Structure 1
Amino acid sequence: MKKAEVVFIPFPAMGHIVALVEVAKLLVRRDDRLSSTVFIMHPTFDPSTTKYTESLVASTLPDRMRVINLPNLESISAETHGRNWLISLIEGQKPYVKEYVSRIRTQSELNPDSHRLAGFVFDTFATGMRDVATEFGVPWYVFSAASAAFLSCMLHLRSLHDEQGVDLTEFKNSDALLEIPSLVNPLPAKLAPTLVFKKDLLAIFLEHARILTEAKGILVNTFLEFESHAVNSLSDGKTPSVYPVGPIVKHVGDDRDLRSDESNNFRDVMEWLDNQPPSSVMFLCFGSWGSFGEKQVKEIAFALEHGGYRFLWSLRKPSPKGKIGSPSNYEDFQEILPQGFSDRTAKIGKVIGWAPQVDILAHPAVGGFASHCGWNSTLESVRFGVPVATWPLYAEQQFNAFQMVIDLGLAVEIKMDYQGNFFGDNEIIVSAEDIMKAIKYVMEQDSETRKKVKEMSKISEKTLMNGGSSYASLGHLIEDVMGNI
């Protein structure tokens, strides 16, 4: 019996690592002929990943799967290498990857019954490793932690730039509309991914889009019924085979192997939710990089206090000016919240720091979600049937918000063209009135949006089971991988 080994290399950030580890688990659990190795590059983009990767010990992983932490190249960081840090990190880690993979290759040559190297799966932003796959003479695939629609958007914007000479940076404040093949409706150009608005970041974006077309196949964290138009638009004969393998929904909170303060916080939050009526709580959480300055915090606080709905608000402290890093927890919320807010809202609301997002969204008390529209969060909201009020901040989140609100009708807009930064300060302030209006609509129990999200939630439950579309897609991927031997 032929046996195949697949090597996975994620982008070194929490959402990307978790998703690719879960895909590797799916493969080995599905087919006894497969084994997988996941390499984690260090230092990671987000320090919180350390706890998660430490929790991935052999006893927690399925048979035929291993996770290898590569040596920590401490001299390479975002602060020391700026925008080139990822390129430097990949180049620094290549020798270690080659060394480990050489051992796999040698073992298979010595033992005919062992697994033979059949391919690599690189995160979209780790494709700088692709020459390693070439060196070992095996195909490589790409894993996209973004949507199928965004994948198509990347390829389309590359085409506009490379083939039609369009200056994409001019879209920043443009009133132009873009016809993106993966979207039903024209996209306002200013909602294009924020990376394309700056020349240095645009170059990186375009390079990744070009590399996508070289892959043997592309795995996408989505499912056919959710993004049918987008997935079908990628079957154009020019794009490598696309395999929707989602929704991959998992979070560090699932492992309960957290720092003691987070464990205590988790219990406190879940106990509070247990005491709330079904679908009564509005949950506000803006991702691992999401934070707001004082003026905006006060507008949100006013909206929550006067909107009258129960709420659970994950409020994070922005990084210090000029320092790149994810937001931290406030030692005392009184330093940022309006005076007396906590006392006045004690019976209806709770303000927290770090949030076990998946567990919260899965709780029956949660009825709405104000979100930054990162793709993982979007999938989680759909998976648990919680309608979203969109408040995108950066990267491709504005695009995701447009797709959810306009194309799919599965969300409501707070402000779709909002553009934040990593330091929480912004000239654009969203008013309490606009926030209240969106929350009111999201929390309506009989709204059309809620009905649609609940229906999609039911489909998402079945898609990875035998007979589901993602189950079938994973089967096709396995056939392709086995054909590489």
Structure 2
Amino acid sequence: MATAKMVVLLPGQSISHLTPMMEFAEVCLRRGLAVTVVVPDPTLTAPPFRSAICRYASRLPSLAVHSLPPPPPPTHLGAVHPFIRMQAAFRSQAPSLRDFLRGLPAVHALVADMFAVDALDVAAEVGVPGHLFYCTGANNLAVFLQLPSFCSRSGGDLKDLGDAPVSFPGVRTMPASHLVDGVLDSGTELYAKTSVYCVGPLIAEGETEEERHPCLPWLDAQPEHSVVFICFGSRCTVSLEQISEMAKGLEKSGHRFLWVLRAPPSFAAATGEPDAALSLLPEGFLARTADRGLVVTASWVPQVDVLRHASTGAFLTHCGWNSTLEAVVTGMPMVCWPLEAEQWMNKVYIVEEMKVGIEVRGYKPGELVTADNVDATVRSIMDMESEGRRTVIERALAVKESAAAAWKEDGSSCAAFTEFVKQME
């Protein structure tokens, strides 16, 4: 029997980058490839990262996990953009990664996180085909690939354009302010650092029955399509004042809700208590909404299971790409509330291109969304008599079918993955 081709994966060090790469690892294993995931020394990673790695290692017994030794301490980073810090961390791992690859009998491909660009140099040095795993949308990739030529033609900083529309071939026109903040100013460090296989969507599977999260039995008891699910991903938070306005708006709307509430990092660090975020809610809010609402303060919830649940009727989201894909493959209408990075760009694709969601009313970057606007938004997406809601639901179901078709035997993602494997021959 022929030895399976070996693929080495180098994931990003955040849950939003780790999860889709682990799903890609599962696809590789199902197609008969051997997979080794290379991760930093456990002492350098956050508990949620370590927990996620353990979950995938348990679910995929043939998955190999290799920990790289601690790199030398970083120097001269100071107060730099988080993306630059992330790239510096990957760069510090390069010598250990090089030694690891050279110690393997054979490696047929290295697939590294989109920010681990230095890993491509390592791959070239050891004679291994190198690839970057771009875990956000193809529209965003198209924008970033065209940014250098666009900026050279514009003759100035993108930040000077404000909300003026900008257009890139193949991508819907959007306000310049919706681009990632790091590319708006040519004076930043990030601005200077700026064959594709489209193999998505890659999303995590749901929970097993034995591991059911406590929010799922609560959903079981709710009427069909009656619950607004509110979650801003594994990292994003809003201000203390915004949390109060959201609570008042949800209460005023009268609709059922499941709210994953995370306090701002400064507040969470000061208290150290997992349920301290509940103290940020208006007095009496939990008691007054006890018959129709559930607030969860855990660091993780089974989002795919919640989105697939019959009781969930809409998803209020920060428009992170993992959350966007999970809503797409479950046919769930979205309410868009982007907060950072490429999320404003994703909002344009969700609302104007795919037409599977609506924007939060009265929202502008950095400004407070009032309780009245939260109330009005929830009512508009949950009103079963609304023609607009019916249109969004019909469109969401159509896009769900399109996403499912991509992984069928003759689908686009299946064909792209086959091409990825062929280049190893």
Q: Answer whether TM exceeds 0.5 for this pair.
A: yes
Alignment of 1:312-461 (within 5 A): 312-320=258-266, 330-354=274-298, 355-414=301-360, 418-419=364-365, 428-445=367-384, 447-461=390-404
Q: CA deviation at 1:397?
A: 0.3
The one-letter amino acid of 2:201's match is P
Partner in structure 2 of residue 277 of structure 1: 223
Conserved? CA contact 1:191–1:417, under 8 Å: no
Alignment of 1:144-155 (within 5 A): 144-155=134-145
Once residues 164 and 331 of structure 2 are traced to their aligned partners in structure 1, the CA distance between those partners, rounded to angstroms, is 34
The one-letter amino acid of 1:432's match is A
Moved over 6 A (4+): 77-81
Partner in structure 1 of residue 6 of structure 2: 5
Conserved? CA contact 1:373–1:401, under 8 Å: yes
Partner in structure 2 of residue 204 of structure 1: 190
Conserved? CA contact 2:158–2:176, under 8 Å: no
Once residues 309 and 349 of structure 2 are traced to their aligned partners in structure 1, the CA distance between those partners, rounded to angstroms, is 25
Equivalent residue in structure 2 for 1:300, among 246, 256, 274: 246
Q: CA deviation at 1:44?
A: 5.8
Alignment of 1:144-293 (within 5 A): 144-162=134-152, 164-171=154-161, 174-184=162-172, 186-199=173-186, 202-208=188-194, 217=195, 242-250=196-204, 254=207, 267-293=213-239
Conserved? CA contact 2:331–2:399, under 8 Å: yes
Partner in structure 2 of residue 52 of structure 1: 52
Partner in structure 2 of residue 23 of structure 1: 24
Conserved? CA contact 1:441–1:447, under 8 Å: no
The one-letter amino acid of 1:133's match is A
Deviations 1:87-111 (A, max 9, x none): 432232122211211111xx2xxxx
> Would the alpha carbon gap of residues 195 and 81 (structure 1) be closer, same or farther in structure 2, given more than 3 Å must change?
closer
Conserved? CA contact 2:350–2:357, under 8 Å: yes
Q: CA deviation at 1:74?
A: 8.5
Conserved? CA contact 2:185–2:191, under 8 Å: no
> Would the alpha carbon gap of residues 311 and 51 (structure 1) be closer, same or farther in structure 2, given more than 3 Å must change?
same
Q: State yes or no: 1:99 paired with 2:38.
A: no
Once residues 243 and 103 of structure 1 are traced to their aligned partners in structure 2, the CA distance between those partners, rounded to angstroms, is 28
Conserved? CA contact 1:383–1:460, under 8 Å: yes
> Would the alpha carbon gap of residues 98 and 81 (structure 1) be closer, same or farther in structure 2, given more than 3 Å must change?
farther
The one-letter amino acid of 2:25's match is A
Once residues 189 and 413 of structure 1 are traced to their aligned partners in structure 2, the CA distance between those partners, rounded to angstroms, is 18
Moved more, 463-472 or 366-375: 463-472
Conserved? CA contact 2:201–2:403, under 8 Å: yes
Once residues 157 and 80 of structure 1 are traced to their aligned partners in structure 2, the CA distance between those partners, rounded to angstroms, is 27
Q: State yes or no: 1:126 paired with 2:126.
A: no
Once residues 40 and 398 of structure 1 are traced to their aligned partners in structure 2, the CA distance between those partners, rounded to angstroms, is 30
The one-letter amino acid of 1:458's match is E
Once residues 358 and 236 of structure 2 are traced to their aligned partners in structure 1, the CA distance between those partners, rounded to angstroms, is 19
Once residues 255 and 8 of structure 1 are traced to their aligned partners in structure 2, the CA distance between those partners, rounded to angstroms, is 26
TM-score (norm 1): 0.78
Partner in structure 1 of residue 90 of structure 2: 90
> Would the alpha carbon gap of residues 456 and 66 (structure 1) be closer, same or farther in structure 2, given more than 3 Å must change?
same
Once residues 27 and 77 of structure 1 are traced to their aligned partners in structure 2, the CA distance between those partners, rounded to angstroms, is 37
Q: CA deviation at 1:312?
A: 0.6
> Would the alpha carbon gap of residues 293 and 376 (structure 1) be closer, same or farther in structure 2, given more than 3 Å must change?
same
- The unaligned stretches of length 5 or more in structure 1 are 108-115, 209-216, 218-241, 258-262, 421-427
TM-score (norm 2): 0.88
> Would the alpha carbon gap of residues 245 and 444 (structure 1) be closer, same or farther in structure 2, given more than 3 Å must change?
farther
Q: CA deviation at 1:415?
A: 5.4
Conserved? CA contact 1:38–1:66, under 8 Å: yes
Once residues 78 and 268 of structure 1 are traced to their aligned partners in structure 2, the CA distance between those partners, rounded to angstroms, is 45
> Would the alpha carbon gap of residues 417 and 431 (structure 1) be closer, same or farther in structure 2, given more than 3 Å must change?
closer
Conserved? CA contact 1:160–1:166, under 8 Å: no
Secondary structure at 1:429 match in 2: coil
Q: CA deviation at 1:385?
A: 1.1
Once residues 203 and 158 of structure 1 are traced to their aligned partners in structure 2, the CA distance between those partners, rounded to angstroms, is 15
Q: CA deviation at 1:280?
A: 0.6
Considering only aligned residues, what root-mean-square deviation do their CA atoms show, in Å? 2.9
Partner in structure 2 of residue 228 of structure 1: none
> Would the alpha carbon gap of residues 87 and 15 (structure 1) be closer, same or farther in structure 2, given more than 3 Å must change?
closer
Conserved? CA contact 1:158–1:206, under 8 Å: no
- The unaligned stretches of length 5 or more in structure 2 are none
> Would the alpha carbon gap of residues 415 and 338 (structure 1) be closer, same or farther in structure 2, given more than 3 Å must change?
same
Q: CA deviation at 1:138?
A: 2.7
Q: CA deviation at 1:458?
A: 2.6
Partner in structure 2 of residue 68 of structure 1: 66
Conserved? CA contact 1:12–1:44, under 8 Å: no
Once residues 250 and 294 of structure 1 are traced to their aligned partners in structure 2, the CA distance between those partners, rounded to angstroms, is 31
Once residues 299 and 144 of structure 1 are traced to their aligned partners in structure 2, the CA distance between those partners, rounded to angstroms, is 35
Q: Aligned pairs, how many?
A: 414
Partner in structure 1 of residue 421 of structure 2: 478
Once residues 459 and 103 of structure 1 are traced to their aligned partners in structure 2, the CA distance between those partners, rounded to angstroms, is 42
Deviations 1:380-411 (A, max 9, x none): 01111110000000000011011111122111
The one-letter amino acid of 2:69's match is P
